Structure 1
């Protein structure tokens, strides 16, 4: 596949699981949540019910840890038929607070890539989730100085991207998006006529999983972020 990024002027980076670890902490918290409720249901059933609750609440709470916390609490009440103890509810809240307070763990090669691309391209962060939490993580990451703009979107659909590019006066043919999610970071970008790079993370949230018909889309897939330096 021939890749031509000669017209690219602006590069957008997803944040969670592209710049730093995120999904791993959700999976770890889900396991602890299931441990708390194993007296009411099997762990597999608890996982299923929690995911269903997250999907039910997604439009109301949006993405991020706070919505996840509320979904855990509501799931606990539903799974236990409102018998769950106050102590368990308190521990669920603590699970969420520990996620929010967790140190930022940068993925390999992130600083190297940003250092080399900084100055050659206009770099921006395009992520979704809770605004306060994402701003906090960016500050803790010590990466802020590399980016011209940071945008926390409510969702990552074609309309969201088009509105943002228009607002920032970025032409679609000048834009390249790099991220770990085909559903959020790659396919919507390709559908609006821009280019995208897929950097898979070893853990993917069920909601972000999507199958792509072979040959329907043309995009670059790399094993690690530093591989992008071979093309830019």
Structure 2
């Protein structure tokens, strides 16, 4: 799969973010110029909405920094998280491809820096670039695998396994083994579909196995990704 890369001396900002992607680097010059001319840049504070359910799908989102939460709200007001977009990921292509009103809310969980590719530019890329279409297919296939895993976890697995799978979803798959995740516990509870108290118990169980370390006063979890992944594989 096309993953972003960082090299010494690489451009910074939106241009630098785009240059890290193979699909962008392989575009002809006129399409790279189109992306640069039409792309927008936005920052968001925790809790700030990026897009709302029921609105037209206007952009494809690239996350340069932070976490974005895709979620739906039931008739009773209960929230269900569908996915959390991590730094270095793209999202929102499904709604653009179906040309439908957005089916979920998108909000920032942490201070975030986002680039927004307009729907018209997205469609031009889709119609013009095989490399871009391959990236979209890989992206959606990977996300579908995560959806299936989270659905199975919510129906079949113990709470600590649901928390473990959520932490693996939030971790950077190309990052190091020990990763700090600055995610509030109440947000982690929403992602897992559990109460905050039950998430706290699950974190304690994972800590007992040496899979995570927590600093309550600092508000982050240190996740030992490889060990956590092995734990999930063994128990599941």
Q: Of the two structures, which has the highest relative contact order with CA contacts closer than 8 Å and spacing of 6 or more?
A: 1
Greater share of strand = 2
- Using structure 2 for the length normalisation, give the TM-score: 0.33
Greater share of helix = 1
- Using structure 1 for the length normalisation, give the TM-score: 0.33
